[in-house]
Structure 1
Amino acid sequence: MSEFTAFSLLESIIDRVSLKGYKQPTPIQKACIPVLINGSDLLGIAQTGTGKTAAFSLPIINKFGRNKIEIKAKSTRALILTPTRELASQIMQNVDDYAHGLGLNTKVVYGGVGRQAQVDAIAQGLDILVATPGRLLDLIETGDINVKALEVFVLDEADTMLDMGFFNDVQNIIAKLPKSRQTLLFSATMPAEIEVLAEAILTDPKKVQITAETVTIDLVNQSVYQLEKSNKVAVLFNILQKTEHEKVLIFCKTKYGADIIVKALEQASITTASLHSGKTQAVREQALQNFKEGNLRVLVATDVAARGIDVDNISLVINYNLPEDPRNYIHRIGRTARAGKSGMAISFAVENDIRQLTNIENSIGQVIPVVTEQPFHKEFAKTSKEVTKKKQIKKPNRKTNGSRRKRK
């Protein structure tokens, strides 16, 4: 019997959860679902991959499934605001799966596609709307949606909203919402701006903090390949030829770089596609769907486009370029080792990457092993700081004054 029955959810929801293979709630689901069913506001500190979509959507679906009302035209009972189109689509897909058979009206809206179909859907009145900030603000300003009857507001990936420059849009949207509502705010980190926002929009919230970083790090076999920049493609081929990984996710720095990698892999008859903001929404969705279904072996993505990617059985993540922000390293390698499974993450590092690599290691509290048994290994003259052991570190410590050690 599913442990989700302990939450007193509708039987149809429990059936749908079981069909998706969920045998027991994740830590964030255990902590959030009872709080949200009771109607409290919530501040959740958790990353993508911890199960938070179900944590916030199951109580909403349960509430609306038990209490159906006549919805006014152009209104929605719940609004889930999220930063990227891919994440919005993914959340909508999960919501529709969980709500199957309950007769709830749902819709996802985002930019980059025609707006008329979105306007027509909203005009009928919605139970749940999933949206990105830009398109939602546009629909509000043109009078195509009225948010005054909103009952539940979910702000997902708040720190990513900040990083992507959506913060002003988010604040403008919040200013238009009714004061009386249940509000949920989720963020992977808590910079000062998010703390201020949380204080402003949450009323006597319950706080749930899930440290997914430790779980992710423990389940992922991490390694670094030191090499010259000119040898990256050759090393990539070497890795793909020698491994049996069926789904490989490669992260790179730029859209241009992603397309170059795709071209090189296609010439080697490796099925691949790129995912970045230079592609149309239709092309991005098709690439992601093909990757999910196993029609592509490799997906090459930039950080922004890949936020929220939730694809089962990615066994290998390759950091073709190291991220500048250590937090993105955790987001990246968290695409593998999902649902308690193990995974592998390989990072390419050139000599100029030592500072970034040191920051990443200090952030996760451990040294990432260097693979010397690869054909293009290069010893670096520079050294990186000794990294504080993970058990001794509670947050990124970039002021560590430990001894220097040679990176081999």
Structure 2
Amino acid sequence: MSFSKLGLRAELLSAVTAQRYPSPTPIQARAIPIILKGRDVLAGAQTGTGKTAAFTLPMLQLLSNDSVGAFNGRSPRALVLAPTRELAAQVESAIVTYGKHLRLRSTAIFGGVGINPQKSALQRGIDIVVATPGRLLDLVGQRSIDLSAIKILVLDEADRMLDMGFIHDIRKVLGFLPKHRQNLLFSATYTRDIKRLADSLLNKPAMVEVERHTVAAQTVNQCAYRVDKSAKRDLLIQLITEGRWHQVLVFTRTKHGANRLAEQLVRRGIDATAIHGNKSQAARTRALSGFKKGSLRVLVATDIAARGLDIDRLPHVVNYELPNVPEDYVHRIGRTGRAGEEGEAVSLVGADEVRLLKDIQRLLRKEIPLQPLPELASQPTDNVGKSECTTRKWRSPSRKRPANGSTPRRESHRGKAAGFA
């Protein structure tokens, strides 16, 4: 199927063509026609499936078709709620990209930065507001924004917003919205809380879902190393330096762990920084800018901080610590191997994380190949730049490895992370 078959207007098709996206992803092909009909939608889609375009493209078209209320000061017509500053900025950037041929205005509103520039943007007239709940309520309280004209409401990564404790803020925001509007709820998981929110928010919604357990696994070369916790740092450094890895996204469970690992990498001569909720917005923006440009080699992140990151040419994701929730593993490795391009995800598994790995494999319905630990000495030169992700099956600690050893290595693919966010 092509984008031209989805009912999008010529201006949007031109913007999509300029991005060189060959065809819509499954979530886009299913959601866009339904949203264009004005129906409420409950969509199950993970990061990397193209969900951002799945709601921004039809939203732009619906607003363009209805010019009533455009640029009328403090009354936007569409509202997108997002859990993090990074995701809000990413969604607004997508709106600008896809709507460049349309007479629509948008802005992103989030905390951690000055509020006055955001007030000024609203005063100039805005059609679409992308916001985190807290800062939006601040502006509502200061009467800097009027939500009474909202016609389309989008909750992006609703499950993450609930995980972060935003349910009360979300319900406060809903109280300022008109009763009659179109509601779009996007969530990676269907928890009891999500179902409860959907029941209270959506009116006879269309259900749209893409296969949950295979989204990232099909495009990402995955492997794992069984390694003592005390040796993880040295193994990570060896993989980065001897593999000549650049643009490596490393995940830890905690903010403190992210800070400590980044500092240790810097002391070993690897450019690295940590990104998490305690960092100022300015520091986060600098880190992301350097990482995207390639001047920063390693970005160490927590799960919440990394949600919504949209990074081109991201060849490597490393799980320095496995997540406690299996779905978060899929979110993590979904940062690479996007829109059909291949990426590489490496997990460092300690003895206390074997159970977590089994839970992840159960979710994926596949085994993650286990790699033998490399020797501490430098590897032969013909291994430099080669992928360590091969087809060796994961074995529990009680099972012995074959005595003869290794399997052929496969070159790492570093394709551009093309496609929609």
Match of 1:284 in 2: 284
Match of 1:246 in 2: 246
Q: Is the 8 A contact 1:312 1:338 kept in 2?
A: no
Indicate yes or no: 2:196 matched with 1:196: yes
* 1:332–1:407 CA distance, 2 compared to 1 (3 A): farther
Deviation at 1:212, TM superposition (A): 4.5
Deviation at 1:177, TM superposition (A): 1.2
Match of 1:64 in 2: 63
Distance in 2, matches of 1:332 and 1:20, equals 25
Match of 1:138 in 2: 138
Deviation at 1:13, TM superposition (A): 1.6
Counterparts of residues 28-47 of structure 1 (less than 5 Å): 28-47=27-46
Q: Is the 8 A contact 1:151 1:182 kept in 2?
A: yes
Counterparts of residues 11-22 of structure 1 (less than 5 Å): 11-22=10-21
Match of 1:209 in 2: 209
* 1:407–1:163 CA distance, 2 compared to 1 (3 A): farther
Match of 1:24 in 2: 23
Distance in 2, matches of 1:354 and 1:28, equals 33
Counterparts of residues 331-350 of structure 1 (less than 5 Å): 331-350=331-350
* 1:15–1:407 CA distance, 2 compared to 1 (3 A): farther
Over residues 137-164 of structure 1, what are the superposed CA-to-partner deviations in whole Å (9 max), with x where a residue is unaligned? 2222222211111110001111101111
Counterparts of residues 249-328 of structure 1 (less than 5 Å): 249-328=249-328
Deviation at 1:131, TM superposition (A): 0.2
Distance in 1, matches of 2:13 and 2:203, equals 30
Distance in 1, matches of 2:329 and 2:369, equals 15
Higher relative contact order (CA 8 A, sep 6+): 2
Over residues 165-195 of structure 1, what are the superposed CA-to-partner deviations in whole Å (9 max), with x where a residue is unaligned? 1111112211221110011001111111111
Which deviates the most, 213-222 or 133-142? 213-222
Which deviates the most, 264-273 or 23-32? 264-273
Match of 1:81 in 2: 81
Distance in 1, matches of 2:310 and 2:63, equals 26
Distance in 1, matches of 2:293 and 2:397, equals 44
> What secondary structure sits across from 2:368 in the alignment?
coil
> What secondary structure sits across from 2:216 in the alignment?
helix
Q: Which amino acid aligns with 1:367?
A: E
Match of 2:50 in 1: 51
Match of 2:398 in 1: 406
Q: Is the 8 A contact 1:313 1:338 kept in 2?
A: no
Distance in 2, matches of 1:142 and 1:366, equals 52
Deviation at 1:227, TM superposition (A): 1.6
Q: Percent identical across equivalent pairs?
A: 43
Structure 2: 5+ residue runs without aligned partners?
377-395, 401-421
* 1:407–1:262 CA distance, 2 compared to 1 (3 A): farther
* 1:277–1:315 CA distance, 2 compared to 1 (3 A): same
Distance in 2, matches of 1:407 and 1:144, equals 64
Distance in 2, matches of 1:23 and 1:243, equals 32
> What secondary structure sits across from 1:257 in the alignment?
helix
Q: Which amino acid aligns with 1:178?
A: P
Deviation at 1:353, TM superposition (A): 1.6
Distance in 2, matches of 1:407 and 1:349, equals 16
Which deviates the most, 113-122 or 48-57? 113-122
Match of 2:7 in 1: 8
> What secondary structure sits across from 1:215 in the alignment?
coil
Q: Which amino acid aligns with 2:75?
A: S
Q: Is the 8 A contact 1:50 1:212 kept in 2?
A: no
* 1:407–1:258 CA distance, 2 compared to 1 (3 A): farther
Distance in 1, matches of 2:218 and 2:299, equals 24
Distance in 1, matches of 2:128 and 2:273, equals 32
Deviation at 1:405, TM superposition (A): 7.6
Q: Is the 8 A contact 1:75 1:123 kept in 2?
A: no
Indicate yes or no: 2:157 matched with 1:157: yes
> What secondary structure sits across from 1:216 in the alignment?
coil
Match of 1:108 in 2: 108
Deviation at 1:107, TM superposition (A): 0.7
Match of 1:367 in 2: 367
> What secondary structure sits across from 2:336 in the alignment?
coil
Q: Which amino acid aligns with 2:24?
A: P
Distance in 1, matches of 2:270 and 2:20, equals 31
Over residues 218-271 of structure 1, what are the superposed CA-to-partner deviations in whole Å (9 max), with x where a residue is unaligned? 222222211222211110111012224332110012222222222232233323
Q: Is the 8 A contact 2:82 2:130 kept in 1?
A: yes
> What secondary structure sits across from 1:119 in the alignment?
helix
Distance in 1, matches of 2:215 and 2:205, equals 26
> What secondary structure sits across from 1:76 in the alignment?
coil
Q: Is the 8 A contact 1:291 1:298 kept in 2?
A: yes
Deviation at 1:282, TM superposition (A): 1.4
Over residues 261-302 of structure 1, what are the superposed CA-to-partner deviations in whole Å (9 max), with x where a residue is unaligned? 222322333232221112111111121122122222221111
Q: Is the 8 A contact 1:336 1:343 kept in 2?
A: yes
Match of 2:185 in 1: 185
Distance in 2, matches of 1:63 and 1:158, equals 22
Distance in 2, matches of 1:291 and 1:360, equals 28
Distance in 2, matches of 1:295 and 1:21, equals 26
Which deviates the most, 14-23 or 152-161? 14-23
Deviation at 1:407, TM superposition (A): 5.6
Distance in 2, matches of 1:150 and 1:65, equals 14
Match of 2:171 in 1: 171
Distance in 2, matches of 1:227 and 1:373, equals 8
